Amino acid sequence: MIARKKLVAGNWKMNGSLVANETLIKGFLPEVTDAVDVVVFVPAPYLAQVQGLCQGSAVKWGAQDVSSMPNGAYTGEVSLPMLEEFGVTHVLVGHSERRTYHFESSDAVADKALAAIEASIVPIVCVGETLQEREAGRVVEVINAQLDPVFDRCGRYAQNGKWPVIVAYEPVWAIGTGVTASPEQAQEVHAAIRQRVQEKLGLEVAQSTRVLYGGSVKPSNAAEIFAKNDIDGGLIGGAALSSSDFSGIIRAAR
Ligand code: PEP
């Protein structure tokens, strides 16, 4: 059984300023050790600033979205070669806010994941059901439908028992609402995701692939959630904007 290192990822969403970012990073940096991986997903204009603040530390930084195209007439988009110039190692794809407000399909999300892998940047593929879908008993069906295009396009990059993809399970009803899935509810879905990875890519890949939980994680509930077998850390929104909260969540992941 491969030990999976916990990962705590902060999604700043469309928040921050030069002054606030510096205060935030300097506040949680002392908590970061080799025991836990930490990545912050920052708005694109701040990548250079965050690179300057985090370079040489154990903190990695990433973007909240990316184009699957390398360059060209795609107004408003940011490409992987651009992210590479700023030392980006990870990128979020398919966050529910992108799927909802920007109508991103699971095929488009999988195209982005593939382009990221081909640029040696790790995609964190976000999946999750709405409350209506949960109440209709469709959680696993919805998540498999979101993940299957990713297996189809990116599965061939699973090699030697490793897959350069991280999955984030984020129930839409728990994002930014203050309502968290119970550790048991989250574990149940994480186990189903790992099962799907096993069906598609084999046991070894399933055991090495990290699956994060996201949705109203706070210092007060993080340890209980991260203690579950198939939960390998968290994707943190609101609480990633406070250095004391983010520090508390990093401590909970140790
Ligand atoms: C998120 O944006 O991915 C998220 C999980 O947000 P929050 O922690 O605020 O629910």
Q: Which of 164, 156, 160, 147 is nearest to 94 (CA)?
A: 147
Give catalytic status of residue 31 as yes or no. no
Most ligand 1 atoms within 8 A of CB, residue of 101, 236, 249 to mutate:
236
- Write out the two tokens for 130: 């709405």
Count CB atoms within 10 A of the CB of residue 71. Answer: 11
Residue 49 tokens read as 């600033």
Clarify whether 97 is annotated catalytic. Answer: no
Q: Which domains does the chain have, with CATH numbers?
A: 7-252 (3.20.20.70)
From atom 6 of ligand 1, which residue's Cα is the shortest distance away? 237
Quote the pLDDT of residue 1: 58
Cβ-contact 163, 157 below 8 angstroms:
yes
SS3 11: strand
How far apart are the C-alpha atoms of 100 and 170, rounded to whole Å?
13
Residue 229, annotated as binding a ligand: no
ipTM of the complex: 0.97
Pick the atom of ligand 1 nearest to 126's CA: 3
pLDDT, position 2: 66
Is position 11 annotated in a ligand binding site?
A: yes
13 labelled as ligand-binding? Answer: yes
CB proximity list for 240: less than 8 A, separation 6 or greater: 9, 10, 11, 12, 40, 246, 249
Residue 3 pLDDT: 84
Query: What's the 10 CA to ligand 1 centre distance in angstroms?
Result: 9
Rounded to two decimals, the pTM is 0.98
pLDDT tens string, the chain, 254 residues long: the values are: 568 999 999 999 999 999 999 999 999 999 999 999 999 999 999 999 999 999 999 999 999 999 999 999 999 999 999 999 999 999 999 999 999 999 999 999 999 999 999 999 999 999 999 999 999 999 999 999 999 999 999 999 999 999 999 999 999 999 999 999 999 999 999 999 999 999 999 999 999 999 999 999 999 999 999 999 999 999 999 999 999 999 999 999 99
Q: Shortest CA distance to 7 belongs to which of 191, 202, 232?
A: 232
